[in-house]
Amino acid sequence: MKFDFDAEYFNPQHTLDCGQVFRFTPFKEGYKVLSADKVCYVHNDGAKTVVESDSPDYFYNYFDLNRDYSEIVKRAKSYNIPLLTRSAEQCRGLRMLNQNREEMIYSFIISQNNNIPRIKGIIERVCAALGERKESEFGEYRAFPTSAALAAADTEFYRAAGAGYRDEYLSAVSRRIAAEGICGLERLTAAPLKAQLLTYKGIGPKVADCIALFGFGKTDSFPVDTWVEKIYREDFKGGLKDRKKIAEYFVGEFGEYSGFIQQYLFYGKRINL
């Protein structure tokens, strides 16, 4: 089954390549995207972006296609910040994904102090070993492991998968989630959610912001990494040093649009707009 969407406001490359997701690979004329236990093929076809999947409703929501991004782009440009204006205009097809929450918790634990190729490699090795084998019209793939499956693995497994010092974090957090679930997190607004995430072993402020934004859809979040610090100094002429305070500054400036604007700024800076 397939559906399409206006390519002006749905660019697969910009959406997948901006650091919010790790389980995708080039495939045919576009990308194969994996989320939880599902898969889709997304590609451009002229003025349309086409998504093919056995789970069309899931991926319609996953790509946030119920939201009007023309209004978000208009709001971003209204601040008259040169980098933000350029990025929002040229990357207006970038969409915030509605990703599986547990998958995002583990993925962003793996992401800390790491680069994207290594993050993707670790995740794929974990999935290959612990994820359920699935078949699709786009070939065989592995589902993201359940928390129970992750909890059953020991720290040596995660170390062998390349997780390094994060092995203890993955082991401890998966055991906790397998025992408690995450229903308690799902009911929280952004600030208490981040505070609760900080109680999980190995989750610091930046990772908590990433999980809140990319896993729980808390768009009043603004993850700060070295790229965002650079943006803050060079494009906002800011003098704060503490990342937590920098994040608070940006949320104070952009409110409920913070997460969208963070992605425009981050991606625009990385591709030298």
- Catalytic site positions: 206
Sign of CA dihedral 57, 61, 67, 73: negative
Closest C-alpha to 58, from 27, 43, 44, 37: 37
Name residue 87's amino acid.
S
Distances from the Cα of 155 to the Cαs of 94, 123, 171, 225, in angstroms?
36, 15, 6, 27
Contact 170, 201 (CB under 8 A): no
Name residue 34's amino acid.
L
d(Cα 188, Cα 165) in Å, to the nearest integer?
Answer: 29
Closest C-alpha to 101, from 201, 188, 227, 9: 188
d(Cα 200, Cα 54) in Å, to the nearest integer?
Answer: 35
- Helix (H) or strand (E) holding 107, with range, is helix 101-111
Closest C-alpha to 101, from 210, 18, 14: 210
Q: Rounded to an integer, what is the distance from CA 37 to the centroid of its chain?
A: 17
Which pair of structure tokens corresponds to residue 125?
């090795």
Q: Which residues share a beta bridge with 41?
A: 32, 52
d(Cα 260, Cα 160) in Å, to the nearest integer?
Answer: 36
